[in-house]
């Protein structure tokens, strides 16, 4: 499961990361890519610098540049939570991942501003007027390379409100993750057994073709088999079957073929 997070400043995205990390999710953030680049440039990691660098990279390398870099880090067989998704192009790129779902974390302006003041970060706005000014730049820009939180939120699969207590918020998150779990697709039984047959076929030693069979009763595997020379005879790919190793035409000299069928 890959969970992406978007939301306005002070909405509580960090709490989601903490909550899912404790549940075993691997935490990552598009902003981490920007922080690393700022450090390489020997610049201070401030909110203003992060926003400016994000815009610069999108203009230079494409709107999905941060998401494209994140795709290289994701391990699809593990659970990830990705924070700081702020542009629609980033969502579209991450949607290439199987089982990716975007959650928009919401809270009222009053609640969010109170949280921002409480955390007392050096570069956070100190007044409501400044808070609103910065937020308009993050939400209403017409520049496609800038942050576009409103348009990004429209692409979310789920919305989780965070106006109450932490326990209430975590309960909503838990319920949302349960909903996502139910959406994850599993292969049907026929597809499941056919995929096993494909793997079994890789064990074939026949140099002409590789096939396999899986015998099933009541959705339980009874036996598997693949084509090749019988036990006691040298493997086909080691010269055990004269017909296959003579590379004769298909359908000819079948009486000389030592290879057994997969079902045998």
As a whole number of angstroms, the distance between CA 104 and CA 183 comes to 18
| Nearest residue to 199 (alpha-carbon basis) of 216, 209, 189, 212 | 212
240 φ/ψ angles, rounded to the nearest 5 degrees: -70, -25
Q: Of residues 36, 109, 130, 263, which has the active-site annotation?
A: 263
User: Is 109 an active-site residue?
Assistant: no
Q: What is the SS3 assignment for 86?
A: coil
If we measure between CA atoms, which residue out of 202, 222, 220, 131 comes closest to residue 212?
202
**CA neighbours closer than 13 Å in the CB half-sphere of residue 133:** 8
Using alpha carbons, select from 128, 143, 135 the residue that is nearest to residue 9. Answer: 135
Which of 6, 3, 1 has its CA nearest to residue 155?
6
Distance from C-alpha of 107 to C-alpha of 160, rounded to nearest angstrom: 9
CA atoms of 116 and 110, how far apart (whole Å): 10
Tokens 């920007």 correspond to 34
Find out whether 103 and 51 touch, Cβ atoms under 8 Å. Answer: no
Residues annotated catalytic, as ranges: 263
């Amino acid at each position: 499961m890959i969970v992406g997070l978007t939301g306005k400043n002070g909405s509580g995205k960090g709490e989601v990361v903490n909550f899912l990390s404790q549940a075993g999710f691997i935490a990552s953030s598009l902003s981490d890519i920007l922080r690393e680049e700022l450090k390489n440039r020997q610049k201070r990691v401030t909110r203003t610098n992060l926003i400016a660098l994000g815009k610069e990279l999108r203009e230079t390398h494409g709107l999905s540049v941060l998401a494209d870099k994140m795709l290289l880090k994701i391990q699809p067989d593990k659970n990830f939570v990705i924070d700081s998704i702020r542009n629609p192009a980033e969502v579209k790129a991450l949607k290439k991942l199987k089982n990716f779902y975007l959650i928009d974390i919401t809270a009222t302006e009053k609640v969010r501003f109170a949280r921002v003041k409480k955390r007392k970060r050096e570069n956070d706005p100190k007044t409501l007027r400044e808070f609103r000014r910065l937020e308009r730049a993050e939400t209403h820009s017409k520049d496609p390379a800038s942050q576009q939180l409103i348009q990004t939120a429209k692409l979310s699969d789920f919305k989780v409100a965070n106006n109450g207590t932490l326990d209430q918020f975590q309960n909503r998150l838990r319920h949302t993750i349960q909903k996502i779990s139910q959406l994850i697709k599993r292969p049907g039984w026929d597809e499941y057994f056919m995929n096993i047959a494909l793997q079994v076929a890789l064990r074939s030693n026949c140099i002409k073709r590789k096939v396999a069979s899986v015998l099933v009763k009541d959705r339980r595997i009874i036996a598997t088999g693949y084509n090749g020379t019988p036990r006691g005879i040298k493997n086909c790919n080691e010269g055990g079957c004269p017909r296959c190793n003579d590379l004769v035409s298909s359908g000819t000299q079948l009486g000389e073929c030592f290879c057994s069928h997969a079902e045998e």
